[in-house]
Chains A and B, each alone.
Chain A
Amino acid sequence: MDYESLISDKAKAIKPSGIRKFFDLANQIEGVISLGVGEPDFTTPWTIRESAIYSIEKGRTFYTANKGLLELRQEICRYYDERFHVKYDPEKECIVTVGGSEGIDIAVRALLNPGEEMIIMDPGYVAYEPSIILSGGTPVRVHLEEKDEFKLTPEKLKEAISDKTKLLLINYPSNPTGGFMSREDYAKIVPIIKESGIIVISDEIYGELSYEQEFCSLASFDEIKDQVITISGFSKAFAMTGWRLGYVLANPILTKAMVKIHQYVIMSAPTAPQYGAIDGLRSCRDEVEEMREAYLSRRNYLVKELNDMGLTTFKPQGAFYVFPSIQSTGLTSEEFCNKLLEDQKVACVPGNAFGESGEGFVRISYAYSLEELKIAMEKMRIFLDNLKKNAK
């Protein structure tokens, strides 16, 4: 049978990632020094692991409420209020999800109709566009620029909004650029959001990993709070990627619609991680801060090293990625990454994996120990020297 012909139009419409080949290659080569991962190098704090283990020992192995354990939702809402000064009602405005990824999916599906437009950032995380396609909507890409440190400027936002725009998705601090929006930056686009009446999905998964400037949650602007769907989770700040636990915070009407999808597709987020996360929010403040400091010191180191090597790198204010320009080498992003992998067995991700505006850049993760980064930077230096020699 021709199984290919059975695949739905929507599934077909999701383009296979152009860098899949590169990922597969990098994951196969022995002894690769990787700078390519999008997850923390830290193991989940023991307090969280122990609480989850205890919950299993106690036989807490059942479904939770669709929206998640009330105790956890209360902790999430308390945390968002204390840390980022946004108040949500744990009963009506919070859903515990299977990672931030599920949050994105249910938010888009609950709001986007076929034919409607959703604005996403380019370069941006790879999972946003497929969500739009699955809803039958149309992705509209805002091409961010290095000169703006990959911030969303009011000019760019205005240009992207049309009468078909329903949703805007922003992700600051950003994967892959490390770009950051301060309160002042947001203040420039908030009036546009308010006036246009669009709904904003704010993916704040890297919020805790903010450096010199204080993280600003978009919903902390009261005038647009109800237009914002806040998405976050435990993967990055609490080093809990494998647990798959996130949450969505939004006004009661939107929450109700998202719960409808969530309850049928997921039922409820896994139970043991929810118990672990309660203790994470209650007692892992120090661990989170310690990890943030480690990332900060590594970022400083990488930015200096890369600039010294001649790869222009702006100093990102958040997340754990730097996004150096490789244009001076005359190579495309993919050529650069392929050659680097071949020559020095160092893996980083070509910028164009995150959209065409990522061309000319590579994403380097600093979710690695300083010792590992040092070795990788030595190899990078040799690679660049070889490139120069060969060019002569």
Chain B
Amino acid sequence: MDDKLLLAVMQKNARIKLTDLAATLDESKEDVIDELTRLEKEKVICGYHTVVNWDKTNTDVVTALIEIKAEPEREYGYDRIASRIYKYPEVETMYLLAGRYDFALIIKGHTMQQVAHFVASKLAPISGVTETVTTFVLKNYKNSGLIMIEDEDGKNDRLVVTP
């Protein structure tokens, strides 16, 4: 099976019906199920989620980028300290970086106070964390490859029939 194509199709639309997915891959439904199960098991596919523009809802969501300096540990490097950070549900995304800071996090909360409190009371005291920088997000233009705001770009005004 063409895994590359499967992943490309699924990445564009994870909600595609199994019948259609099988058709686009030119494979049987059973084979596609087996392949998806395998990819999920091997963590090639780590999950499926909905990209929400919270600004358009009544829910208050505050997003912050947190950069962290940390001290690596003998034997574990950065992994053990990372695990103590990423286990918090507030941490939406976490990267290990090469550069001035060691980790970059994307944190979500309901208010700025809540986020600030989380950083001050949970992240900063973790042993090995030496510095944090919190930057609040004002607007999300693009997320996971999707443009989050109204954009006329690509408005399709092709003719109906052309040779």
Contacts and interface: CB of A to CB of B under 8 A. Distances in A.
Given A38-B163, A297-B9, 10 more contacts: A27-B161, A34-B158, A37-B158, A290-B8, A297-B25, A300-B25, A304-B23, A304-B26, A305-B23, A347-B160
B30 interface: no
8 contacts: A36-B162, A37-B160, A39-B162, A43-B154, A293-B8, A296-B5, A297-B24, A300-B26
A39 B158 CA distance: 8
B163 A349 contact: yes
A380 to B, nearest CB: 14
Contacts of B156: 41
Interface residues of A, number: 35
A41 B24 contact: no
B5 A349 contact: no
Interface size class of B (residues with CB under 8 A): 20 to 34
A102 to B, nearest CB: 16
A131 B62 CA distance: 62
A34 B158 CA distance: 10
A300 B159 contact: no
A297 B162 CA distance: 23
Contact of A300 (B12, B16, B24, B153): B24
* Closest CB pairs A-B (n = 4): A36-B161, A297-B24, A43-B154, A300-B26
B20 interface: yes
Contact of A353 (B25, B154, B158, B163): B163
A29 B9 CA distance: 32
Contacts of A257: none
Interface in A19-39: 22-23, 26-27, 29, 32, 34, 36-39
A126 B4 CA distance: 36
Nearest to A125: B163
A297 B8 contact: yes
Nearest to A363: B163
Nearest to A296: B5
A246 to B, nearest CB: 16
Contact of B161 (A23, A294, A300): A23
Interface of B: 4-5, 8-9, 12-13, 16, 20, 23-26, 153-154, 156, 158-163
A370 interface: yes
Contacts of B153: 43
A300 B26 CA distance: 6
Nearest to B8: A293
A128 B153 CA distance: 34
A27 B160 contact: yes
Interface string A285-311: 000001001101110110111000000
B141 to A, nearest CB: 13
A298 B26 CA distance: 10
B26 A41 contact: no
B29 to A, nearest CB: 12
A374 interface: yes
B13 to A, nearest CB: 7
A22 B161 contact: yes
B160 A32 contact: yes
A37 B161 CA distance: 5
Contacts of B24: 297-298, 300-301, 370
Contacts of B154: 42-43
Interface string A154-188: 00000000000000000000010000000000000
A220 B16 CA distance: 40
A363 to B, nearest CB: 9
A94 to B, nearest CB: 27
Contacts of A175: 163
A42 B158 CA distance: 11
